[in-house]
Amino acid sequence: ATGFDAMTGALVSVDIEGRDGVTLKQKWADGPTTYLGLTSVGFPNLFTVTGPGSPSVLSNMMVSIEQHVDWITDTLVDLREQGYAVIEPTQTAESGWVQHVNDCADITLYPTANSWYMGANVPGKPRVFLPYVGGVDGYRQACDEVVEAGYLGFELRGDGKVQRNDGVIRRLQPDVAMVLEMMAEMELPPMDSMSAEEARAFSEATNAQRPPGPDVGEIVDGTLPGADGDLRYRLYRPPTPGPHPVVAYFHGGGWVLGSHDSDDPFCRDLCVRADAVIVSVDYRHAPEARFPAAAEDGFAALQWIAEHPQELGGIPGALAVAGWSAGANVAAVAAQKARDAAAPHISAQVLVNPVTDSDFSRPSYEENGEGYMLTRDLMAWFWDHYADPADRTDPRAAPLRNPDLSGLPPALVVTCEFDPLRDEGQAYAEALDAAGVQVRHLPGRGLIHTSITAVDMIISATDLRAEIGSELGRMVREGVAVS
């Protein structure tokens, strides 16, 4: 493979001219853009058999050619029967497919190789990954679903009528989709059908199978005083010379599951990326200790950590709170309580997929309430274990309900596109901003509730983890208290 212009050369060498006199070669000057590897915006009724963005050279070519020809002929017959004479993809659909093709490639080593799959064998050719590496079966399923959804992503024209069915056929990150498919095949009982003890055992067994995360400088287990007895903690020190900023971290698990070491891979990741000491604190769990036990323990732990920075290897005054899911709820409440008490000083708060409200009426609960691990029913199960209905609007349970959010520390709020909690996390970021708090909302495209903490499992979340860690490190250092 040292001379031929694979996948695009034969197409752009033909003088194919689309709308407004633009040639295919001109449109693809910075790399090919297609929908399903079959069609391209601006070129109505043009079909590219085994074109860029389809499995093509990564598959049995004869079979893939046959599948494309079958799809094209079936489409032409269908459109004629419906009275349409023109088919063209929408820009949204094409951009979404290009993104999906790149997402599939980015979790592999293909883009790192100097190969003809990247156009590297042709001088001056743009370096983009050309074929679709998401699998032939998955590709065929996508093509079929486009038709079943009424030609999703296409505009059809003919006989004085227009049908425009805009949309994106694949929005989930490919590794997230693979995990969800695997989980569905296992036919596991839903966690909300279990008792609290059964759910804890299931969660612990699941966690035992995960990769460990990056190495850190040192890990120390200990106890600290909570609001009603000692709490376990796990301390992570970076491999770099100290002292370091300190982060009080609270684990996820719906106030029912988890412990000081249940988010171990993510805490390791944060420790290394933020170059900060992470103190992951356990807190009392429901239903044995219902609301406001978790909130009280969170603030008590934060106070103790603030009083012992040097003992922990930390920089006095450089303290942040962070958490994931229900732990982010505990962290947000701790930040509010610290503001109300005028101590301790908190430099930053990092809230990953936070529970900020008890309202299930937001669109993300409707859109993502089933099929993405954290379900609407499971969140209801968590709330039922944690708090009575009358308590669920208390700001210590639903920090978004606090009427005064001013004066809180700078915040990074992270949400995921396919998370039931997405909208309440975004609402909290918007409310903080409206209250004059410095805040950044970081959305996770194509990710689900558990993606960010799945270190070395969900590769598509790696860049987001890196950004979370670097932002945490920056914020906690910039917000050091001046004594």
Judge whether 361 counts as a catalytic residue.
no
Distance (Å, rounded) from C-alpha 99 to C-alpha 330? 35
Q: Which of 325, 347, 451, 460 is catalytic?
A: 325
Q: Is 449 among the catalytic positions? A: yes
φ and ψ at residue 364, rounded to 5 degrees: -65, -25
Own/partner long-range contacts of 381-386 (Cβ < 8 Å, ≥24 apart): 381/191, 381/192, 381/254, 382/254, 382/255, 382/256, 382/326, 383/358, 385/196, 385/254, 385/255, 385/256, 385/286, 385/287, 385/290, 386/254, 386/255, 386/256, 386/286, 386/287, 386/290, 386/291, 386/294, 386/326
User: Residue 470 in contact with residue 274, Cβ under 8 Å?
Assistant: yes
Is-contact 154 90, C-beta < 8 A? yes
419 is an active site residue = yes
The one catalytic residue among 419, 423, 451, 460: 419
Catalytic pick among 203, 449, 451, 460: 449
CB contact at 8 A, 189 and 242: no
Backbone angles phi, psi at 367, to 5 degrees: -75, -35
Q: Which residues are part of the catalytic machinery?
A: 325, 419, 449
